[in-house]
Amino acid sequence: MARLTRTRIEALPIPASGQETHWDSELRGFGVRVLPSGLKTFVLQYRNADGRSRRLTLARYGVLTVEQARVEAKKRLGDVARGDDPIETRDAARAAPTVADICDWYLEEAESGRLLGRRRRPIKMSTLRMDRSRIERHIKPLIGTRKVKSLAPPDIAAFQADVAQGKSSRSRGVGRGRDTIGGVGAGSRSISTLHAVFEHALRLGKIDNNPARGVRRLASGQRTRRLSVAELAALGEAMRTAAEQGEHPVGLAAVRLILLTGFRRNEAQALQRGWVDFDADCVMFPDTKSGAQVRVVGAAAMELIEAQAEQPGNPYVFPSDWTGTWYKQVPDLVERLCKTAQIEGVTPHVFRHTFASIAGELGYSELTIAGLLGHGKRGVTQGYIHIDDLLRSAADAVAAKIAAVLDGKERSIAPRRRTAPQVPARPVSRSMPAEVDDNMLIATLAAQFAGGGIDADQLRSAVARLTAG
């Protein structure tokens, strides 16, 4: 046994069968293994903390020089001296989950209902679909094979930049939804999904850290696309042309309802008759993006709902031709209508922005617009409360304005007599500080009495005196 050198290793004989190991005379446990094929590999023999003899393969001769292999062997022996087992460490690293592994597990958790979202309820299927899309289109192609434990915040920031630059974009054929594109918004939202995936895995002990924590999202900007009055009029003309050419009347009615109410696409197309209070002109959604809500509906929109023919055995306002389901082709129909109208960059959600924009042009406050749209923190409420006349008149005015533009004419819609919605009384959630709910009520009352010279401060003082008594 002599000190291993390049010259000595080059001169080692090739065994006819089996393998032979030649040990270094200076560094105990360090050697080189020779196979009949002529392959020479550096190895390290050691005993772990349990006294078990282990043999670790360091690297092939040629990949490392003998001196480089000697340095590596000393490092591993240092690990052994500290109580570590290099082979166990290597095996654990090989078994560590990749980003794709954790993402697949996350989706399984969500599908089984074990993944809770806001208000500690299982996340919605629409959210799951978006998460799955980002995982399959952006996350897996770019970093799916990376070990989670090998990632750090700079790696996640680089991933976000790659998505924004379109490095995950690809074409998957022809037709709507066939192309995967990047962009700043896609990068930012992919980071949000990745953060949620890692955070859930960290809570349940699947990983040791969340490398997406602290990574700043790219500013994607607000989606401010809305239809101008001219575009809205062109869309109305396209809808009339489509009706004359035999377009599905149920689909056209669903599109019109989104325009007249600002409903989200799924809220409109899956609307059930049992949710509609025809006396109070409101819809009682049992579940929305922001939870259960009562949403005021303008007279023009309510007339549209009332005009829809019922399909026996089908609870939906906009039934499909298949019994028991609803019309689901709204996105495709909107695409065809916009092509006819020669307007670009429009999705059903743009109609929601358009509704809000027109409400603002009519002079309604952000609080009122939030109530009309059902925004969770500033809407009517997450619990059922009395719907005030301010929201009623606003819903009427906005729906009437949009209907007039769509129809190519101005028309007035007389407010109809309504009653309070018959809904179960439910206390306002105390998960929110009481003063927030009180301030919302005071702001709404102040808006109604503004003409009489009563402002919010006066109302707040009056309420304080009453409650003190």
Token code pair at residue 331: 């996105």
Contact 372, 395 (CB under 8 A): yes
Q: Give the Å distances, CA to CA, from 178 to 171, 183, 337.
A: 6, 16, 20
172-181, 261-270, 306-315, 316-325: segment of lowest average pLDDT: 172-181
Question: What is the reported pLDDT for 456?
Answer: 54
At 70, is the secondary structure helix, strand, or coil? helix
- CATH 3.30.160.390: which residues of the chain? 6-94
- CATH 1.10.443.10: which residues of the chain? 229-428
Hey, what long-range contacts does 165-172 have (CB within 8 A, 24 or more apart)? Answer: 167/142, 168/137, 168/138, 168/141, 168/142, 170/141
Strands (E), 220-328: 276-277, 282-285, 293-296
Which residues are registered as beta bridge partners of 64? 61
Question: What is the reported pLDDT for 427?
Answer: 41
The secondary structure element, H or E, covering residue 276 is strand 276-277
CB atoms inside a 10 Å sphere around CB 165: 13
- Give me the mean pLDDT over the 228-254 stretch: 95
Q: How many residues does the chain have?
A: 469
- CATH 1.10.150: which residues of the chain? 99-203
Contact 293, 307 (CB under 8 A): no
DSSP conformation letters of 396-455: HHHHHHHHHHHTTS----PPPP---------PPPTTS-HHHHHHHHHHHHHHHHGGGT--
Which residues are registered as beta bridge partners of 42? 32, 59
Distance CA 210, CA 204 (A): 12
Spatial CA neighbour of 328 closest among 255, 393, 427:
255
Distance CA 337, CA 251 (A): 11
Question: What is the reported pLDDT for 126?
Answer: 79
Question: What is the reported pLDDT for 376?
Answer: 54
- Give me the mean pLDDT over the 249-264 stretch: 96
Question: What is the reported pLDDT for 190?
Answer: 94
Whether the per-residue pLDDT at 469 is higher than 50: the answer is: no
Question: What is the reported pLDDT for 396?
Answer: 94
Q: How confident is the model at residue 220 (pLDDT cuts 50, 70, 90)?
A: low
CATH of domain 6-94: 3.30.160.390
Return the CATH fold of 229-428.
Answer: hpI Integrase; Chain A (1.10.443)
- Mean pLDDT across the chain: 83
Interval 392-429: pLDDT, tens: 899 999 999 999 999 987 544 334 444 555 544 444 33
Question: What is the reported pLDDT for 95?
Answer: 85
Token code pair at residue 454: 């009563």
Whether the per-residue pLDDT at 84 is higher than 70: the answer is: yes
36-45, 123-132, 204-213: segment of lowest average pLDDT: 123-132
CB atoms inside a 10 Å sphere around CB 244: 8
What CATH class does 99-203 carry?
mainly alpha
Interval 38-55: pLDDT, tens: 999 999 999 999 999 999
Distance CA 22, CA 230 (A): 86
Whether the per-residue pLDDT at 102 is higher than 60: the answer is: yes
Backbone angles phi, psi at 270, to 5 degrees: -105, 20
Report CA Rg, the chain. Answer: 33
Whether the per-residue pLDDT at 221 is higher than 80: the answer is: no
Question: What is the reported pLDDT for 112?
Answer: 86
Q: How confident is the model at residue 224 (pLDDT cuts 50, 70, 90)?
A: confident
Question: Considering the chain, what percentage of its residues have pLDDT values greater than 70?
Answer: 80
- Give me the mean pLDDT over the 141-159 stretch: 95
DSSP conformation letters of 320-344: -SSTT-B---HHHHHHHHHHHHT--
Which residues are registered as beta bridge partners of 272? 316
Question: What is the reported pLDDT for 388?
Answer: 65
Interval 331-365: pLDDT, tens: 999 999 999 999 998 999 999 999 999 999 988 88
Question: What is the reported pLDDT for 365?
Answer: 87
pTM of the entire predicted model:
0.59
